[in-house]
Amino acid sequence: MSSSGAAGQPKPLLVLGSSLGVAVERLWAPVLPLLGDRYHVLGWDLPGHGRTHHDGSAGSFRVADLASAVVELAARRGTPGLPAYYAGVSLGGATGLQAAADHPGAFAAVALVCSAAVLGTPEAWTQRAVTVRAQGTPALVEGSAARWFAPGFADREPQVAGGLLHDLAHEVDDEGYAACCEALAAYDLSDRLGEVTDPVLVLNGAADQVVPPAAAEQVASGVADGRAVILPGVGHQAPVEDPTGTAEALLAFCR
């Protein structure tokens, strides 16, 4: 996913990352028109997701490896002299926080969307990896439908919710998803928040079952320059549940 803003005009770079089980293009598409022409937008997919679904190159990796790859991508695709920003959802957000901890200054600001310093428990992620390798990602659809969205959203927006769940069942490689689970099992930056000096926005949904608002507040208060914004009536997929609120928070923060 790439969008260059106004033709011929150099723009600051905005790198977007996605949630586990969802292609970046599907998740962020509702937000892009609301960002105007302010940024050169570049999306990246998790291993085994979206445009990387069929490349068979997931292997084993850590969130730190994803962060290093994203920092390298931003360095290649950004415009010298202009800032680069980062925003990611869930595992994509964890990647941004890891980048801020490991590569300070690589981004002018980092936004964690529906994400935190630790996500779930190692035991739960390890078990989910086992489930996916045995049964495939379709086995996760029912549980994800319950966790991903605020109550009533899927009834109001069945095509939007159904599109994300379709991606999970049919557009995500089983091994890539399992490898992401194992990376999350080892991810915990709770003890490193004090090292983060980049400005950090933590944008969470009030109805997020996966990452409750208290987790957002923990990150915002733990880093040197943090701000928490809670979107009412939003679950774990803020860019599709509240595109306007997500865009406004990003624009205000990066500005």
Q: What is the pLDDT along the chain (255 residues), one digit of tens a residue?
A: 555 544 568 899 999 999 999 999 999 999 999 998 999 999 999 999 987 755 555 678 999 999 999 999 999 999 999 999 999 999 999 999 999 999 999 999 999 999 999 999 999 999 999 999 999 999 999 999 999 999 999 999 999 999 999 999 999 999 999 999 999 999 999 999 999 999 999 999 999 999 999 998 999 999 999 999 999 999 999 999 999 999 999 999 988
CB of 251 closer than 8 Å to CB of 127: no
Predicted confidence at residue 57, as pLDDT, reads 54
**What's the CATH architecture for 13-253?**
3-Layer(aba) Sandwich (3.40)
Q: Any idea of the CA torsion for 223, 183, 107, 207, to the nearest 10 degrees?
A: -60
194 Cβ contact list (under 8 Å, min separation 6): 222, 223, 224
Number of other residues whose CB lies within 10 A of the CB of residue 61: 15
φ/ψ of residue 42, rounded to 5: -135, 120
CB of 37 closer than 8 Å to CB of 246: no
State the Cα–Cα distance between residues 142 and 101, nearest whole angstrom.
35
φ/ψ of residue 39, rounded to 5: -130, 155
